[in-house]
Structure 1
Amino acid sequence: MSDNVTAGRRQTGPLGGLVITVLLTSFVAATYGFGFYLFSQLVTDMRRDLGFGYTAVGTITAAGQLGFLVFAMIGTWLASRIGGGQVTIGSVALCAICLLLLPMTDSIVVIGILLTILGGTAASVYVPLVEIVGRVIDYKHRGKVLGLVSSGTSYGVFVNSLLVPSFVADGDWRGLWYVVGFGTLMVTVVATVTFWRLGLFRPDPAEAEQAAEQRAEQEADGGKGGALSGVRMVLVRWVVIIWVIKFMNGFAFMPFQNYLSPYLREGLGFDIDFAAQVWGVIGIIGMFSGFAVGWLSDKIGVRASLLICYGCFFLSSMLLVLAPVGYLPMVSGVLFAVAFYPIYGLVPAYVSKTAKGTAATVIFGVTNVVQGVGGIAGNYTAGALKNLTGDFMWYYVLIAFATVALGVLTLQLPPEGSDENATEKKPVGKAAAVPAGGGTE
């Protein structure tokens, strides 16, 4: 890669990097924190006014998961064609529009459609983040930045917790949707101007040069390759491992949080106050753990940080299985929070430090799809085990085994940015020919 192209990738100083980090975190806070998380807090008041039942709530929740998967695929496809910056801004703008439209209707069908789209924007806004971070954030800071971004959901939920009581007390749940909608719209306007000034709506110079080289190679090869060349660009050993890891993350850790309260209250006999305290601790720790573990990953490496997280998950699940007494479930919650939010920043950090441009977007887009599929499979398996055994405990046993397998898979990953991670010339099982270059930036 020529020096002038490499230099063209770095057009932001510390202030620009800070602004981009805040904006990306706010995107995640809005799309993840204000959609279904706000709906779950307002569902009682909305049901009282609109008269829908829990069957509708369950249907909407399932539709939101489907929307996440569909938008993850669409976002990946669009980002590789029109650019990650455009997809991210478009997703946040669509999120703002849906938030503003939701309180304007009394139809639960329309509300369900809007919430399904909101669930989708959570995926499509996240897919291009590795490309954007790779363009404007220095290599040595990407772990902490993506770690902070991955904690964005916690900040959204925290904002909800501040706003919900006052609006609900006045019986004005519609007003709260308007507030978060207008707030998201304002962030979208600021982000659009910022992205334009930083050149994020224009093609990455390094990506353009790489594409030109690939076209030249195809022409020299008589035009052979076509779509298969795009597949070969990303189908390498470490990418397949990352996809398996993300599937297992969804399979194990999404049900962990979904079934934690029922397990504590129905399986272990704790009261609602203790379960609420556990979740309160998880939320508070989640606001800081993403940045803290991300910062650590920049110092000791993403793989080592992943192993620490999986160790925390293992201890957390085993405490719920072997010693769920006294305040030990609270300790389990602490360990879960230390690992859960960072895990969603560490994988994109690994990808952003290894692949670039379209390859990074495609790789990370697929990870969101397989994680969603893993979450669906995990939630179904957890429910089936509960019906079969009468106890949620056995799924936490399964989670413990899954964390061991995840640790073994993590050890199979090459160090981020190493020559082993090339995504351009090395199909699965073949030697690398072109280094990814992530470690040289």
Structure 2
Amino acid sequence: MKQSERPTTVVSEKTSDGRRSKVIAGFVVTVLLTSFVAATYGFGFYLFAQIVTDMRKDLGFGYTVVGTITAAGQLGFLLFALLGTWLSTRIGGGQVVVGSVALCGLCLVLLPMTNSIVLIGILLTVLGGTAASVYVPLVELVGRVIDYRHRGKVLGLVSSGTSYGVFVNSLLVPTFVQQGNWRGLWYSVGAGTLMVTAVAAFTFVRLGLFRGEDEATERAMHDGAERNTSARAGWRMVLVRWVVIIWTMKFLNGFACMPFQNYLSPYLREGLGFNIDFAAQVWGAIGVIGMFAGFAVGWLSDRIGVRASLVMCYTLFFISAVLLVVAPVGFLPMVSGVLFALAFYPIYGLVPAYVSKSVSGAAATVIFGVTNITQGVGGILGNYTAGFLKNLTGSFMWYYVVIAVATVILGTLTLRLPREGSPESAIGKRKETAVPGMAKDVAHAAG
């Protein structure tokens, strides 16, 4: 009897070891992906915005140049979102992610080596682009490594990576700037980014996240399933109702969220008469909350569903905008900032979580890649509209009215989405053929 039990014991031990290895791999990949977003989003333009005054004094350029560089960075974001989507479906998401982080680190190191503002502008434009191309393949990678029931919290944490990058900036900037060494600051964050890139490349190779011959062979053996997750299927997603809703939502996210953040300080100081200390406190609260909000709401979404979590975030966003319109007095703008932080960072993790739980493979990459493009277009249009309304009415308040209306539309669109992982949200699913891994995902959702 004991001898017959031995094979079962060995199998159990192997199963336990396999699960432990998967958990460790998931943790390592989560940390790396979060650090990628921290580097590409948190450094680059966010660092440039913090030390632009010191760079201007040293290099002698004006705010017209700053505005031109900012616009070029947004253009770089859109171009790299397209390029990252195209490359991910051909050479693999792992290669695109690591390549983007490596390019980011290289630009960060090269930037302080020149006094030419033209070259600095080009490097910052590329940095803005790497923020897009590193984000596009995240859905694919998370779908390959992270269990269905944990994807919301993981993508929520990754979406908060920007806050961690900005936090690192806030620790480094005073030390370097006080010594008049803004160039050393760029070198430091660049060297750190390149070190993370090296660790990531080694880890991705060990975990098999770079496409190789084995994967190509496996995909060829599952030709019927491959058709459903191919890039060609992904580009046909314009015919799928929920995908169009997701793209529209991301456009409105860019249209509402980005201007809310960009014009908050000018509105508080110039429009409402608050001093710089109070405005800084509001921003500080947004930054600290942002470091934890993405993970917390992502964790919640794995339990109550992505759609319910999105509706909650848009409700908080609506209240935040309304407070700045009807009662921007006393301590209420701080409450508005807190509510904004609780909604803003999670939103950018919840949408990819929905995509990751509904479709896999190249189709997921294409869908999410297009969302980055629509979000960028929405951000550009939103910033322009906010500036136009300010010139027309003399106040930023009216754009916060527009933001409140946009959040109502976003909440309505969210309720029109099918439940993530349900048959209604499956891409290219037929009676006989299902997306690889989708059956398991739907089973998780149903359970």
TM-score (norm 1): 0.91
Quick one: distance in 2 between partners of 1:79 and 1:166? 39
- Distance (Å, rounded) in 2 between the aligned partners of 1:305 and 1:48: 46
Matched, 1:97 2:106: yes
Q: Measure how far apart 1:212 and its partner are.
A: 1.2
CA distance in 2, matches of 1:14, 1:389: 55
**Match for residue 34 of structure 2?**
25
Letter in 2 for 1:212: D
**Superposed counterparts of 1:96-175, under 5 Å:** 96-175=105-184
Q: For 2:405 and 2:227, locate their aligned partners in 1 and report how far apart those are by CA, in whole Å.
A: 48
Structure 2 CA distance for aligned equivalents of residues 357 and 11 of structure 1: 24
Check conservation: 1:92, 1:125, Cα contact below 8 A.
yes
The verdict on how the C-alpha distance between 1:214 and 1:89 changes in structure 2, with shifts beyond 3 A counting, is same
Partner of 1:354: 358
**Percent identical residues:** 75
Aligned to 2:119, the other structure's residue is in SS state: helix
Richer in helix (by share)? 2
Paired AA for residue 62 in structure 2: G
In the alignment, is the contact (CA less than 8 A) between 1:422 and 1:433 conserved in 2?
no
Contact 1:278 1:333 in 2 (8 A): yes
After TM superposition, give the deviation of residue 179 of structure 1 in Å. 0.4
Is the 8 Å Cα contact of residues 313 and 336 (structure 1) preserved in structure 2? yes
Match of 2:23 among 4, 14, 39: 14
Tell whether the 8 Å contact from 1:234 to 1:359 is kept in structure 2 after alignment.
no
Check if 1:212 corresponds to 2:216.
no
CA separation of 1:10 and 1:347: change in aligned 2, threshold 3 A: farther
2:443 maps to 440
Which residue of the other structure, out of 421, 435, 445, is the alignment partner of 1:417?
Answer: 421
Distance 1:278 1:234 in 2: 40
> 1:180 & 1:153 partners in 2: Cα distance?
14
Letter in 1 for 2:224: E
SS at match of 1:417: coil
Does the Cα contact within 8 Å between 1:72 and 1:368 map onto a contact in 2? Answer: yes
Distance (Å, rounded) in 2 between the aligned partners of 1:404 and 1:209: 46
Q: What residue number does 1:71 align with?
A: 80
Q: Which residue number corresponds to residue 223 of structure 1?
A: none
Measure, in 1, the Cα distance between the counterparts of 2:239 and 2:227: 21
| Contact 1:207 1:357 (8 Å CA) reproduced | no
Q: Which residue of 1 aligns with 2:9?
A: none
Give the direction of change, closer, same or farther, for the CA distance of 1:305–1:229 in structure 2 (3 Å limit).
closer
Separation in structure 2 between the aligned mates of residue 301 and residue 19 of structure 1, nearest angstrom: 25
Bigger shift: 10-19 or 322-331?
Answer: 10-19
TM-score by length of 2: 0.90
Cα deviation 1:283-310 (Å, max 9, x = unaligned): 0000000000000000100000000000
The aligned counterpart of 1:62 is 71
Kindly report which structure 2 residues correspond to 1:38-437, keeping only aligned pairs within 5 A, or say none. 38-202=47-211, 208=219, 212-213=223-224, 231-232=235-236, 235-425=239-429, 434=434, 436-437=438-439
Q: Distance in 1 between matches of 2:231 and 2:298?
A: 35
Q: C-alpha displacement at 1:199, in angstroms?
A: 0.3
Relative to structure 1, the CA distance from residue 230 to residue 251 in structure 2 (aligned partners, 3 Å threshold; closer, same or farther) is closer
Give the 3-state SS of the residue equivalent to 2:358 in structure 1: coil
What code does the residue aligned with 1:50 have?
Answer: L
What code does the residue aligned with 2:276 have? Answer: I
Alignment partner of 2:349: what SS? helix
Deviations 1:225-284 (A, max 9, x none): x99755335631111110000000000111000010011111111111100000000000
Q: How far is 1:424 from its partner?
A: 1.0
Given residue 94 of structure 2, which amino acid in structure 1 is its aligned partner? G
Structure 1: give runs of 5+ residues left out of the alignment: 1-8, 218-225
Q: In structure 2, how many angstroms separate the alpha carbons of the residues matched to 1:148 and 1:86?
A: 22
CA spacing shift, 1:215–1:27, aligned 2, 3 Å: closer
